[in-house]
Amino acid sequence: MLEFVTLTSLIFVVLVIWYWLWECSSFVRQIDRIPGPPKVPFFGNVFGIPRDGSEFLQTLHVKWVEQYGRIYRTWRGGTAIVAISSPQYVERILTSQKNIDKSSYYAIMEPWLGNGLLLSSGDKWKKDRRLLTPAFHFQILGDFFEVFHRNADILVEKIINRLTDSEEIDIFPMMSRCTLDIISEAAMGIKVNTQTESDSEYIKSIDRVQEMTRGRFYSVLGLLPDWIYFSLTPSGRELGKHIQTLHSFTMKVLRDRKQQIENAKTDDDSFDDSDESKMSTRKRKPFLDLLLETAQRGTELSESDILSQVDTFMFAGHDTTSVALTWFLYCMATHPEEQERVYEELLECFGDDSDRHCALEDLPNLKYLECCMKESIRLYPSVANFRRQISEQVQLGDYTLPVGASVSIQVYALHRNEEFFPDPLSFKPERFQKEQSIGRHPFAFIPFSAGPRNCIGQKYAVYEEKAILIALLRKFRFSIDKCHLPVKETHGIIMKPAGGMPLLITLR
Ligand code: HEM
């Protein structure tokens, strides 16, 4: 017994000394000069950060910004996270060529997304980004419109069929299926038909994986290494099961596409064409083919590398767009005058030709639609925050961020900064008209991030959204029953509407 007490006391003393030395280190002193919520020894702020996605957003993006300012720090165990939401600070971080790697937050996504473009660092990221950029070439994107239109038509059809039962429809799952079908076909070359076929396990699992990944990051369990978390905890086992579902889905996509290419080879040898300069003049080419071609040319690219990219693009290119569409329709439903103005602009553009799909050339004529899209994603950014790892010390105002700190760019809080968007909580599309945008700080509005590591799919996403929204707004009028107001945001990795988005829909 005496030995046990002695040993426990000894461990306690060692831990206290270790903690005291850590507290006195220049890293901790530099971080703790930045204001932030009080921390608990060893655990930091993990207990003070709400698990619930809506409260999480309100606490980190509203309450603590009001309390501590547009730069504040939190601790996750021994990891320092500096949250910033002023454009000047954001510009310093996002324009850096050095501080472009992702923070430890993203390590928690690795069992799911592997070392794909979103998570990779250093030379691997540079090489992959160079390889994948041609797939998003402006001229190639024009060829994707056919896929956007076909899937938007299916969506319109589905809504019309549902209207016979009820005018109120939760549009969020419908958007999710539509964008999943589009990304699978446009980027992977495979039709998965989740709009027309029954419940998609993939969609259910992707929701759960996001929710659980965010929950894990800010819980004590998140401090456990992967091998303990996934094998010994019930939540780890559940998360592992959902990740497995996602991987099986993307593996099937990869295998199916390989098979298609094999079959096509006998008729057409274009797959062997390695001249990338011809990309822009060829018909649309799924980005997955680029990876398969590269692997075939003998470059080091294993099946698991390709799978990580497929997982990454399926995630990054599907949910981000479906929530942007969903929040946009919410803004229209709650702002009938603005909705009518968009409709009038569409009538002016398309006239009586109600069946004509939009083309790339129509888009410059739809300026008010674009202002509404920007205003909606300002208020409801699909990615409410993202992070960078500090690998070269940086000065933000009075504070020095040492190497090893993590920076969280708080897009939600940044977009609601009164200094740049007066009356920030109101939906005012005019803010984005040319005259009103002049002089606004270029980093005050960054829904797709900015700088060298911005969203590679930005143009693709905007075209896709426009094609879908134009089809919907020409056909339907959207409103919302007041009993649902306001629809709250919930933060997983993507910012979704808590409890779906039930809208009242009528035919025009
Ligand atoms: C409304 C739609 C979208 C929004 C709001 C959005 C937003 C973002 C943001 C904020 C980032 C930076 C994330 C970070 O640094 O951690 C990002 C990165 C990325 N996005 Fe998007 N995105 C959208 C659609 C898409 C689409 C359609 C694709 C693919 C087809 C895509 C692929 C990617 C990839 C691969 C990255 C990582 C880029 C890199 O690190 O080099 N995104 N996106």
DSSP 3-state of 410: strand
Determine if ligand 1 sits within 6 Å of the CB of residue 389. Answer: no
pLDDT confidence of residue 298: 65
Determine if ligand 1 sits within 6 Å of the CB of residue 87. Answer: no
Point out which residues pair with 44 in neighbouring strands. Answer: 40, 76
The backbone region for 77, taken as left when phi is positive above 0, alpha when psi lies in -120 to 50, beta otherwise, is left
Determine if ligand 1 sits within 6 Å of the CB of residue 117. Answer: yes
Residue 464 CA, closest ligand 1 atom number: 27
E strand or H helix that includes residue 496: strand 495-497
Q: Which of 320, 469, 495 to mutate to test the pocket of ligand 1 (most atoms within 8 A of CB)?
A: 320
DSSP 3-state of 355: coil
Residue 461 CA, closest ligand 1 atom number: 27
pLDDT confidence of residue 279: 37
pLDDT tens-digit series, residues 396-406: 999 999 999 99
pLDDT confidence of residue 270: 46
CB 464 within 8 A of CB 182: yes
Give domain limits for the chain.
43-507
pLDDT confidence of residue 463: 94
Q: Where are the beta strands (DSSP E) in 390-453?
A: 394-396, 399-401, 406-410
Task: Specify the CATH number of the domain 43-507.
Answer: 1.10.630.10
* CA distance to 198, 216, 487, 495, per residue, from 204 (Å): 12, 18, 21, 16
Point out which residues pair with 400 in neighbouring strands. Answer: 395
pLDDT tens-digit series, residues 300-342: 678 888 889 988 998 898 889 999 999 999 999 999 999 999 9
d(CA 333, CA 345): 17
Determine if ligand 1 sits within 6 Å of the CB of residue 288. Answer: no
486 upstream amide cis, omega within 30 of 0? yes
CB 189 within 8 A of CB 289: yes
Q: Quick one: CA torsion of 40, 66, 108, 88, rounded to 10 degrees?
A: -120
Classify each residue of 217-250 as buried b or exposed e, where b means 16 or more C-beta atoms within 10 Å of its C-beta: bbbebbbeeeeebbeeeeebeebbebbeebbebb
Q: How far is ligand 1, taken at its centre, from the CA of residue 241, in Å?
A: 25
Q: How far is ligand 1, taken at its centre, from the CA of residue 313, in Å?
A: 9
For the chain, residues with pLDDT lower than 70 are 1-2, 138-139, 165, 198-199, 265-284, 298-300
String of DSSP letters for 113-178: HTTSTTT--HHHHHHHHHHHGGGG-HHHHHHTHHHHHHHHHHHHHHHHHHHTT-SEEEHHHHHHHH
Residue 132 CA, closest ligand 1 atom number: 35
Q: Where are the beta strands (DSSP E) in 49-139?
A: 71-76, 79-84
E strand or H helix that includes residue 389: strand 385-389
Q: How far is ligand 1, taken at its centre, from the CA of residue 163, in Å?
A: 34
